[in-house]
Amino acid sequence: MIDLTAEAFAILRRQYGHVSVRQLAQAGVGPNARRRLVEGEALIAVHRGVLRINSAPVTFEGSCVALCLAHPGGFVTGPSGGRLMGLRRMPAATPIHFSVRHGTHLFDAGVVLRQSRKVSPVDYVRLPSGIVVATSTRLAFDLSADLSPLDHASVVEQLIHLKKCTIAGLGATARRLCHPSRPGSEQFARTLLSRGDRPAAESHPELTVADALRARGIPVEPQFASLELLDGSSVRLDLAVPSARWGIELDIHPDHLLLDGTVKDKRRDQKCHRIGWQIERVTEIDLLDLDGLIDELVALHTARIERAA
């Protein structure tokens, strides 16, 4: 492939084996050289004006690059954007969700077209790979049309916990995008209004247990961080009812199953007991029977309140 310059190869490596005709020209590969590469099947046409080097495998990321190169005004969003960002609770592999301005028509197979009258530079970011993806706040809004209420709330918690966005930023997005005729608007507003300004839950199980307990009238707070121990250290509890000095720790990380982890957990619980706090521990096994788990936690909380009375 002598017709490909070093600069062209660098672009192909960076963009999962894809390149636009314009990029080739800028890299010193002219029309004649490009024609020879296509005729020799070294480069394969993927979209109009977009080529893939034959040695590159077809991947999800590469398909996103090709779509963004073919349609510079759009960006990857929805479950596809969530997959690129490594967010939890994303649906199984689906066609690429691609947002464009209203009135744009694409006829690419394997693409879910999402037209919007509200698209601005704050809604997307261009990655070094050439993929243009929704920003965290825009993605949080777009996913509200794709996920169940609990899964959407979980993703918002994850984005906040990872410091990908803030409540203020999400609120600004709600003011700009929420509209009765725009899919997901009601769900997005419900998610924000239901969480208020409390700290972000770290995990989906934490959010699931917290929501179930609140539904049973137990006012648990996530990430309670003001527990001062007698040795001068402080601890953060996954969930807590401070007024009852009652907390819950979700032992989801595999370290909790190891001997060293269980010893540390026991010592920490003992330190909490010394200042009058009762700690309940929830494991992944417990979560398999969520209804039974919540019944047990409610009973433990009730007993705690009765003993304190």
pLDDT tens readout for residues 59-95: 999 999 999 999 998 999 999 999 999 999 998 877 9
How, if at all, do strands 278-283 and 75-76 pair?
A: unpaired
State both tokens at 28.
Answer: 């010193």
| Predicted pLDDT of residue 257 | 45
Place of tokens 């084996």: 17
State both tokens at 107.
Answer: 């006829």
- Rounded distance, CA 206 to CA 213, Å? 11
Task: Please give the backbone phi and psi of residue 108, each rounded to the nearest 5 degrees, phi first.
Answer: -85, 130
Which residues is 115 bridged to in the sheet? 100
| Predicted pLDDT of residue 10 | 97
Asked whether the beta carbons of 151 and 89 are under 8 A apart, the reply is yes
Task: Please give the backbone phi and psi of residue 104, each rounded to the nearest 5 degrees, phi first.
Answer: -80, 135
H-assigned helices in 164-254: 167-177, 185-195, 204-215
Which pLDDT band holds residue 172 (cuts at 50, 70, 90)?
confident
Distances (CA, A) of 135 to 43, 47, 217, 291: 32, 25, 36, 36
Comparing C-alpha atoms, which of 279, 214, 215, 216 is closest to residue 245?
Answer: 279
- Rounded distance, CA 206 to CA 212, Å? 10
> How many helices (DSSP H) and strands (DSSP E) are in the chain?
13, 12
Place of tokens 């744009």: 104
pLDDT at residue 203 greater than cutoff 60:
yes
Comparing C-alpha atoms, which of 196, 184, 199, 201 is closest to residue 134?
Answer: 184
Mean confidence (pLDDT) of the chain: 89
Asked whether the beta carbons of 103 and 89 are under 8 A apart, the reply is no
Which pLDDT band holds residue 278 (cuts at 50, 70, 90)?
very high
Give the three-state DSSP class for 61. Answer: helix
pLDDT at residue 158 greater than cutoff 50:
yes
Q: pTM of the predicted model, to two decimals?
A: 0.74
| Predicted pLDDT of residue 261 | 53
| Predicted pLDDT of residue 234 | 85
pLDDT at residue 168 greater than cutoff 90:
no
Helices 149-161/204-215 angle, 10° precision: 130
State both tokens at 40.
Answer: 């020799």
Which residues is 280 bridged to in the sheet? 248
Comparing C-alpha atoms, which of 67, 182, 165 is closest to residue 116?
Answer: 182
Residues contacting residue 267 through CB under 8 Å, at least 6 positions apart: none
Domains in the chain: ranges and CATH? 6-58 (no CATH), 63-195 (no CATH), 204-308 (3.40.960.10)
